[in-house]
Structure 1
Amino acid sequence: MVFRAPSWAPQLSDAEIPDDQPLSDFLFDDELRPRKCADSPKPFIDSLDGSGSSIEETRKRIEWLAAGIASHLGIADTTGDVWDRVVSVFTVNNIHTPVLAWAVHRLNGVVAPVNVAFRASELTYQLKDCKARCIFTDASHLDIALEAATAAGISSSDIFLISIPADTGRPTANIRSFSNLEDLVNIGRTVPPLPHTRWEKGRARTQAAYLCYSSGTSGPPKGVMISHRNIIANIMQMNLYELPLRNGNQPEVILGILPQSHIYSIILTTHCSVFRGDTVVVVAKFELMNLVKAIRRFNMTMLYVVPPILIALINQGALTEDPADLDLPSVSRIYCGAAPLSQELTSQIRARYPHVLLGQGYGMTESATVMASHPRQVYDGSSGCVVPGLEIRLVDASGNDVEGYSKPGEIWALGPNITLGYFKNRDATATTYGDGWLKSGDVGEFRPHPETGDAHLFIVDRVKELIKVSGFQVAPAELEGHLLGHALVVDCAVIPVADERSGEVPKAVVVLSKDAGSDHRMAEREILDWVTKHKSKHKHLKGGVEFVSEIPKSPSGKILRRLLREREKARQAQICAKL
């Protein structure tokens, strides 16, 4: 059984999605935009100092920056292999990152965003894998970028700084010895502009615009090749789907706190917003009261968030002396993604902000957004309905399509937003992408809306082994490989543990070596520190460490994580029963 967008939603055919222009041209094409460029406000402004450029200024900066980067890298035209023009971006949120991305596209390159929480070893892996030509970072992350660049064989002259009002970092490296983004813009003003090459029909379908790293359904991070048309398609899908949400043709003022390296932000607060003529207020760092002040100062109307932000609002509201301190009078919509909202949190947000439409969505790096709540019918607990132009199947463990409602199956998706596959990894691509269908690794079931009968998707389980921490993927295999590098660890497995704030957190189940002795507290401390030292924060073992005599495995040697997860759930249930 194939599920599609509801009959009342605008439809989108494959022929309506352009495939003969790069993403940056599509964004500023007045024949396609809902609101002309000349009638649109600044696309991005900084939450601290209010700085930002008009759309016309933004387009000029794209051209200058593209020419400046090309001049530095010795690129003379916009032809050639895009994989020789990969640019890594390792920085906190700022108003320059979108312009940088479009400048890279302008010189026929690929943007490889990096999670700003990464440690040097994690960044090194990505730089080597994508063979990045240069790195853009900020002062706070310069030391990590420099260490990783050295390990990856990238010259320090190919590291560029982005100036950010919120940046208080004090790197040990001499900042003055590094060029910055503005230096490249100024170079671009003085050199000949890059030639414009008209794209042939179909090129946007196959040419990558972004290389975003994901663990897919299992294993270490892999580069997801996201084409120009994949993003163009998702922009059109979301724009059509959300038309009834728009207040006439009035621009929205949108919160831009989602990490700009994450697909959630890349689609919704980097591209959809610009295409529709909205303004995104970019926030570099989450601090609740400063965030609330920024929402009020700029009269934000739309918040794209993750569950921890909503949890913070509710928890802080219970502590503050004056509940009005957390009022959000200008906000009409809150859209939550990256992890499911609990029913309890949903009810709390609705009670605290009754004037706000609260919705959810579902997607992944390999697909961008595939499901979203709709104002016509929000079904609490669901991820919404299928977006236009997409098809969804639910497939059971035997490989058969699930028929009807309220029956679980793995979510398979087919449509123009489904990405090209994994970079230099045919086996993983063949496993996850089959005959055009993306196998998500998530288990869902469609349930009819109690009033309209329309199909809404509920995420009920996960086939894939990934742990989802505040929207970020953690591959158990990656942490297990790292743990086995510690002298005290003979064998191990990593499983998820439920966490109110993050959704899930990793827990290590470890077989200790004979050298560990009987002091398990000391061993636990060493193992926790081992991960903390080398891995980014969302990969830390916040679920703790458990010592066992043996890791359960299949006859072929595969870790039976399911048994460990079930045992952990039973243990947690016993703890709750005693409370």
Structure 2
Amino acid sequence: MPIESPYPHIPIPDLDLYAQVKATAIEFGMGLKALWEWEKGDVLALYTPNCIDTPAVMWGCHWAGGVLSPANPGYTVDELAFQLRDSGAKAVVTQLPYIKTAREAAAKVGIPEDRIIIMGDERDKSHKVKHFTSIRNLSKSSRYRRTKMNPHEDLAFLVYSSGTTGHPKGVMLTHRNIVSNIMMIKAGESGKLSSTGGPFGDGDRIISFLPFFHIYGLTCLIHQAFYSGLKLIVMPRFDLEDFCRFIQEYKATFSYIVPPVVLLLSKHPVVSKYDLSSIRMMNSGAAPLTKELVEALYARLKIPVKQGYGLSETSPTTHTQAWEDWNTSIGSVGTLLPYQTAKYMSEDGTEVPVGQVGELWIKGPNVFKGYWKNPEGTAHAKTDDGYFKTGDVGYQDKNGHFYITDRVKELIKYKGFQVPPAELEGILASHPGINDVAVIGVYDKDQASELPRAYVVPAGGLGKGEKEAQEIVAWLNQRVANHKKLRGGVRFVDEIPKSVSGKILRRVLKEQALAEEKTKAKL
């Protein structure tokens, strides 16, 4: 059956779906040049949840020499306006339900309304805002050609960090950064689970809920799937029941996930309604995944979960566990992907030996160019010889497996001892009466030290009184070293604040703790 052209004036009766994406991208890129005189380096902002139009818009922007700057669709007007202004965006792509915020933010920074376009299935009935498929080379001029790029220097993406402290920072990722990481992931994801000689083969289907505005979704889902010839089952956002239903309905075979999803799959009753047996493997990233969570999920569903590691600044993936030996190094983020070097460093700038804890530094073709308009931040993050200081702490074992225990800035300092919150969270998550948990350090002036405190979302049936809190404290204290005990106690909450990529927003809990202390002081 012939495939209908996405544009009536471009007949493509015999092209497959991949070629359709390419044709749509080129037409959009031509339209950017023809209608808006798009120039090399111009920034296109993408303010939208996941959408199957994202690849065409993204690669059309690149074809025209542009830089894509994806923004969180949960942003307020002021948050979006900051990114538009900081990035110097020349236009905004969104979806119809988000048009109001996009318009207001664009107006704040001087982007004209005719530079706002929409994608997705819905159209603007007022015809004030064009669909991206209307951005065309209406003159049919043949003078528009793909912009020549220097892959080592020219930017493909300007992604913004999560902004856990202060304003988000623009991370400059070149075409070389992205392409090298795609090749590294392809080489690293070798295994013995497919007849084709690797883990991914013909017919593999990845269920995709990770946000495409995050580098994890951009590289590991869109780029890697297209490069490897895989199918993506695209979810606009994560919903546990939809996730399980789509796996069952579409026979998904793989999923990139985050630790909170592992926790839900291992505990939530709705999971039992669905058949998830088509999943051969899951890969967790974005935050530390503990051994307890991996074992809990496998015990319930017999689904193996391996772990990977990366950052926006590394495009993102730097480490991954091999498919075939995921259960021999549970808790590690795997081994270093090809074409990189890495080392753990002490606070005084010397490399620590195998087995000792330090800050992870990484060097490779996937390491970002620098922070946008922030030479001071770039100089602080990158060494003269090209190493990126990740800000994550951990160690390497004798078999070459890397472990990430926590962020440098998130480590709790109890009387000179370092306490990794993620380690305590992993243990607490295995408690049958806990659905979710976050640990922070709260300062105690009497002891002149930070104390570990747990914020707990209780499971059904567990009370929220002092008795239950003390029981959880005693339960954990039996399982950890003396300096890791919950001296800051337990607080019960309805939910743990998290970013869209699954990272715990500890600053929100710390603000809550400070507010509690101020209230107590007034009493």
* Shorter-chain TM-score range: 0.7 to 0.9
1:310 shift after superposition: 2.1
Deviations 1:191-233 (A, max 9, x none): 546214555xxx2111110000116896531111101011111
Output the CA distance in 2 between the equivalents of 1:343 and 1:145.
42
Q: 1:286 aligns with which of 238, 241, 253?
A: 238
Tell whether the 8 Å contact from 1:110 to 1:211 is kept in structure 2 after alignment: yes
Specify whether residues 398 and 507 from structure 1 end up closer, same or farther in structure 2 by C-alpha distance, changes over 3 A only: closer
Which of the numbers 349, 353, 358 marks the counterpart of 1:399?
349
1:431 to 362, 372, 380: 380
TM-superposed deviation, 1:73: 1.3
Code of the aligned partner of 2:295: S
In the TM superposition, 1:538-553 aligns within 5 A as 541=508, 544-547=512-515
> Match of 2:453?
none
Q: CA offsets, 1:465-512, max 9 Å, x none? A: 699xxxxxxxxxxxxxxxxxxxxxxxxxxx999696777589999xxx
1:457 equivalenced with 2:402 (yes/no): yes
Whether contact under 8 Å (1:217, 1:441) holds in the other structure is no
Question: CA shift at 1:327, angstroms?
Answer: 2.4
Q: Which residue, out of 133, 158, 161, partners 1:182? A: 133
Q: Which residue of 2 aligns with 1:223?
A: 170
Contact 1:218 1:464 in 2 (8 A): no
Structure 2 residue matching 1:204: 3-state secondary structure: coil
Residue 131 of structure 1 corresponds to 88
| Aligned with residue 91 of structure 1, among 34, 48, 54 | 48
Change (3 A) 1:223 1:86: same
The 1:456–1:164 alpha-carbon spacing in structure 2 relative to 1, beyond 3 Å, is farther
* Structure 2: gaps spanning 5 or more residues: 1-14, 413-420, 430-434, 444-496, 519-523
Which residue is equivalent to 1:520? none
> Which amino acid in the other structure matches residue 402 of structure 2?
L
Select 1:333's aligned residue among 274, 278, 281: 281
Match of 1:102 in 2: 59
Q: Compared with structure 1, are the counterparts of its residues 461 and 292 closer, same or farther at alpha carbon in structure 2 (3 Å cutoff)?
A: closer
Give the C-alpha shift of residue 175 in structure 1.
5.3
* Counterpart Cα distance in 2 of 1:536 and 1:407: 29
- Relative distance call for 1:502 and 1:542 in structure 2 (3 A) is farther
Say which SS state the counterpart of residue 347 (structure 2) adopts. coil
Q: Is the 8 A contact 1:67 1:191 kept in 2?
A: no
Distance in 1 separating the partners of 2:394 and 2:21:
41
Matched, 1:362 2:330: no
| Equivalent runs, 1:166-565 vs 2, <5 Å | 176-185=127-136, 187=137, 190-192=140-142, 194-196=144-146, 203-214=150-161, 219-245=166-192, 247-249=194-196, 250-251=201-202, 252-317=204-269, 323=272, 325-354=273-302, 356-367=303-314, 368-378=316-326, 379-404=329-354, 406-435=355-384, 436-448=386-398, 454-464=399-409, 504=438, 541=508, 544-547=512-515
TM-score normalised by length of structure 2: 0.74
Q: Which structure has the higher relative contact order (CA within 8 Å, separation 6+)?
A: 1
Note if contact 1:94-1:282 (Cα within 8 Å) is conserved in structure 2: yes
Q: TM-score, normalised by structure 1?
A: 0.67
Residues 25-74 of structure 1 deviation map (CA, whole Å, 9 limit, x = unaligned): xxxxxxxxxxxxxxxxxxxxxxxxxxx97011111111111111222312
Contact 1:118-1:536 within 8 A present in 2 as well: no
The percentage of counterpart residues that share the same residue type is: 29
Q: Which residue of 1 aligns with 2:26?
A: 63
Distance 1:188 1:270 in 2: 29
Q: Give the deviation of 1:98 after TM superposition.
A: 1.5
Given that residues 208 and 228 in structure 1 are in contact (C-alpha distance below 8 angstroms), is that contact kept between their aligned partners in structure 2?
yes
Task: State the shift of 1:377 in Å.
Answer: 2.3
User: Shift of residue 243 of structure 1?
Assistant: 2.5
User: Shift in Å at residue 313 of structure 1?
Assistant: 2.1
| CA gap 1:353/1:339 in 2 versus in 1, 3 angstroms | same
In structure 2, how many angstroms separate the alpha carbons of the residues matched to 1:61 and 1:189?
17
User: How far off is 1:336 after superposition?
Assistant: 0.7
C-alpha change, 1:216 and 1:177, in structure 2 (3 Å) is closer
- Pick closer, same or farther for the CA change 1:502–1:183 going to 2, 3 Å: farther
The superposition leaves residues 345-370 of structure 1 with CA deviations (integer Å, 9 ceiling, x where unpaired) of: 2111111222x331011111001111
2:250 counterpart letter in structure 1: F
Paired residues of 1:217 and 1:432 also in contact (CA < 8 A):
no
TM-aligned CA deviation for residue 328 of structure 1: 0.8
In structure 1, the gaps of 5 or more residues are 1-51, 168-172, 449-453, 468-494, 510-531, 551-579
Q: What is the identity, as a one-letter code, of the residue corresponding to 1:330?
A: S
Q: Which residue of 2 aligns with 1:15?
A: none
Given that 2:206 and 2:253 are in contact with CA atoms closer than 8 Å, whether structure 1 keeps it comes out as yes
CA distance in 2, matches of 1:196, 1:216: 34
The change in CA–CA distance for 1:433 and 1:177 in structure 2 (over 3 A counts) is same
Paired amino acid for 1:121:
D
Q: Which string of whole-angstrom CA distances, capped at 9 and with x for unpartnered residues, describes residues 148-174 of structure 1?
A: 111111111111111247x9xxxxx97
Match of 1:143 among 80, 94, 100: 100
Verify the 8 A CA contact 2:40 2:147 in the aligned structure 1: no
* Aligned-pair Cα RMSD in Å: 3.3
